[in-house]
Amino acid sequence: MGDITLFQKKKLSGEKITMLTCYDYSSAALLAETDLDAILIGDSLGNVMQGQTNTIPITIEDMIYHTRAVRRALPEMFLVTDLPFLSYHISKEETVRNAGKIMKESGTNAVKLEGGEEIIDNVKALIAAKIPVMGHLGLTPQSFQVFGGFKVQGKDYNTAKKIIEDALLLQEVGAFAITLEGIPEKLATLLSKILSIPTIGIGAGNNTDGQVLVFQDALGISRGKLPRFVKQFANAGQEIIDGIKKYTDEVKAKTFPADEHTYKMDEDLYNSLEREYIK
Ligand code: KIV
């Protein structure tokens, strides 16, 4: 269980930073028994919890609702909450008001937002308001319409340079870490060397200062085609399906509930009720 200083400490020591997303109380209670460094309440909750095809519809209220649920199970954990689409673009005032509402009402420790130079004044305003900011560059999902889909970014000189310049700007104004998503490993390696703040990779190869994955992807709960960068570390989805099959089989076979799952009643009381109601 850490605070914001763990990011810099681990950058300096070279020990990897471990993060996963989480959106609900039950999953967070499982994470409480692990040694993860920090948890991201990502706006990927749009896809994972709501079945949306992208993160655009997510609201500030959604982010507060899910962060609160996670916080209840993880009172000491360092939580980072995504700022939803268009909540940090319009003005400095609106950005601080929106992020401030999330900080006050959800109990999170920091916010994450996507982009660099185009939102840098708003990032500065957050940091001036003492709201810790994690940047997010590369395949930033809120920009999928601009990218023409969910495509790896930074594969040519201009786009790679833009990511590097944005990362340097975010560092300069005081971001404490930067998520790098969907970029070539070599670009992420270079960024991790250039920056004095840690990089957290997802689809950015093995040389970032830490890694983050979506809980349901990493544990084999997500269905359908997953991105190349996902590794399934468990098969919890199949475990759940097998468990449900056992449950329905036992209910149909009348072997569940068994004696040990059943409340008992005094025999004389039962007999008198039966005499009264069954003629
Ligand atoms: O919303 C999310 O889950 C994220 C990760 C992909 C980094 O931002």
Question: Separation of 140 CA from ligand 1 center, angstroms?
Answer: 9
CA distance 22 to 28: 6
Tokens of 209: 């200062």
Give the number of the atom of ligand 1 that is nearest the alpha carbon of residue 55.
1
What tens digit of pLDDT does each residue of 79-115 get? 999 999 999 999 999 999 999 999 999 999 999 999 9
Ligand 1 binding pocket (C-beta < 6 A) is 21, 40, 42-44, 82, 179, 181, 202, 212, 214
What one-letter code names the amino acid at 246?
K
Say what the pTM is.
0.96
Q: Looking at the DSSP assignment, which residues form a beta bridge with residue 236?
A: none
Angle, vertex CA 62, rays to CA 86 and CA 244, nearest 5: 135
Q: In terms of DSSP bridges, do strands 38-41 and 78-82 run parallel, antiparallel, or are they unpaired? A: parallel
- For a pocket test of ligand 1, which of 22, 56, 212, 216 has the largest count of ligand atoms closer than 8 A to its C-beta? 212
What tens digit of pLDDT does each residue of 173-214 get? 999 999 999 999 999 999 999 999 999 999 999 999 999 999
Question: Separation of 162 CA from ligand 1 center, angstroms?
Answer: 20
Tokens of 91: 């003005």
Q: Return the active site residues.
A: 181
